[in-house]
Structure 1
């Protein structure tokens, strides 16, 4: 699944999330390391020593990603 947002796109598979930003930066995280902050529209990857977060444009984008990953 590909989700377009204002800063780039997310590529979501059952195992990982890739973030490809328009400035050329790419971020990767395993699904087990992903969390969602719905009120702030944030997708957060926290794998201990490596952490990043992306603010999406809408709650629908976050919900689509959660649905694709099977997260309630």
Structure 2
């Protein structure tokens, strides 16, 4: 699944997420390392030493990611 958002594109598969920002930066995370937060529509990746977060445009995008990954939104 590909989700367009104001900062670029999010490519979601059942096991992983790849974020391609319009600035040329790419962010990658395995599904097990992701949390989805409804407060602020935020996707958080925490793989120990590497952490990043991304603010999405709306709750629909967050819901689409949650559905594709099979994870809950906190």
1:24 Cα deviation (Å)? 0.2
Residues 39-71 of structure 1 show CA distances to partners (whole Å, capped at 9, x for unaligned) of: 111000000100000000000000010011112
TM-score between the two structures when normalised by the length of structure 2? 0.94
The runs of at least 4 aligned residues of structure 1 exceeding 2 Å deviation read: none
* Structure 2 unaligned regions, length at least 5: none
Q: Unaligned regions of 5+ residues in structure 1, if any?
A: none
RMSD of the alignment, in Å? 0.6
Which has the larger helix fraction?
A: 1
TM-score norm. by structure 1 comes to 0.96
Q: How many residues align?
A: 72
